[in-house]
Amino acid sequence: MSVLAVDTLCKSFGGVHAVDHVSFAVGESEFLALIGPNGAGKSTCFNMINGQLPPDSGKILLDGQDVTGLTPRQIWRRGVGRTFQIAATFGSMTVAENVQMALLSHAGQIFALWRPAASYYRERALELLAQVGMADAADRPCHELAYGDVKRVELAIALANEPRLLLMDEPTAGMAPGERNKLIALVKELVVKRRMSVLFTEHSMDVVFAFADRIIVLARGKLIADGDAAAIRKNPQVQEVYFGTGRTFERRGAAAT
């Protein structure tokens, strides 16, 4: 059974069909990329899946159960994680403390208990940090970290909820190409090791083609393609929507840039 199934999902804003009868599924331990040019409906899709936006119609199923219309917290409780940027106010806390906070939240403990929490979950936080290659930075304040390292900590924070499905909306935005590849390679490793499913959006075609197990393409709210990198590369409709957008994409047999 699919971890996530989206069935004829629709959302309009005024006259704009932001998401128009979109259906797709994410399998267990699958690394699925959702791509499309600007305004294609990717964020709207994400926001419906994570409960921030109610769909106009259609269904969202998690492990076969209908979760359409549940709140973001209820959906998070069912094992759907997402990466959040570490809030500026948490920048003065250490890397380990940020992960400990997420562990406390996962355990359902309230913020008032934070004071003695310095000792709670430290070991577990260090384990999660080791999984993202950040154990050595555990006691550094987050605001001192390089951008790519902050992204790794954000990933450790998302893992604290032990997600079955992780939603990552442009996880590599603002990163240099080398860093991007490293972060996505790490996520892919976690997909395999933890048997976690990931749905991500990404503007870099190089990253998508190199790492995604499968790619789905939205254009003007409609799903126009679903397949592996080779199939998506040679899909004429996909080439058409990307042509002229400035994104790197192979067209009619030309070498990829």
Binding-residue pattern over the window 13 to 32 for ligand ATP, x denoting contact by CB under 6 A: x--x-x--------------
- The site that binds ligand ATP (CB under 6 A) totals a number of residues, namely 11
Among residues 3, 4, 33, 42, which is the contact residue for ligand ATP, using CB under 6 A?
Answer: 42
Interface with ligand ATP, residue 36, by CB under 6 A: yes
Q: Kindly give the residue spans of alpha helices, DSSP state H, lying in 67-146.
A: 72-77, 95-106, 122-131
d(CA 239, CA 249): 7
- The CB-of-158 to ligand ATP minimum distance in angstroms stands at 20
Phi/psi at 193 (5° precision): -65, -45
Residue 113 lies near ligand ATP (rule: CB under 6 A): no
Sole residue written with tokens 């996880």: 171
**In 3-state terms, what secondary structure has residue 18?**
strand
Measure the N-to-C terminal CA separation of the chain; round to a whole number of Å: 38
Count of CB atoms within 10 A of residue 109's CB? 15
Considering just the CA atoms, what is the radius of gyration of the chain in Å? 19
Give the distance, in angstroms, between the CA of residue 24 and the centroid of all CA atoms in the same chain: 16
Least gap, CB of 80 to ligand ATP (angstroms)? 18
Which among 39-47, 61-69, 83-91, 119-127 is the span making contact with ligand ATP, rule CB under 6 A?
39-47
Q: Which is nearer to ligand ATP, 18 or 75 (CB)?
A: 18
**β-bridge partners, 197:** 165
Residue reference for tokens 């380990």: 96
**Least distance from ligand ATP to the Cβ atom of residue 14, Å:** 6
- Part of the chain binding ligand ATP (CB under 6 A), chosen from 24-32, 40-48, 84-92, 146-154: 40-48
State the nearest-atom distance from the C-beta of 162 to ligand ATP, in Å.
27
Which residues in this chain contact ligand ATP in the complex, by CB under 6 A? 13, 16, 18, 36, 38-44
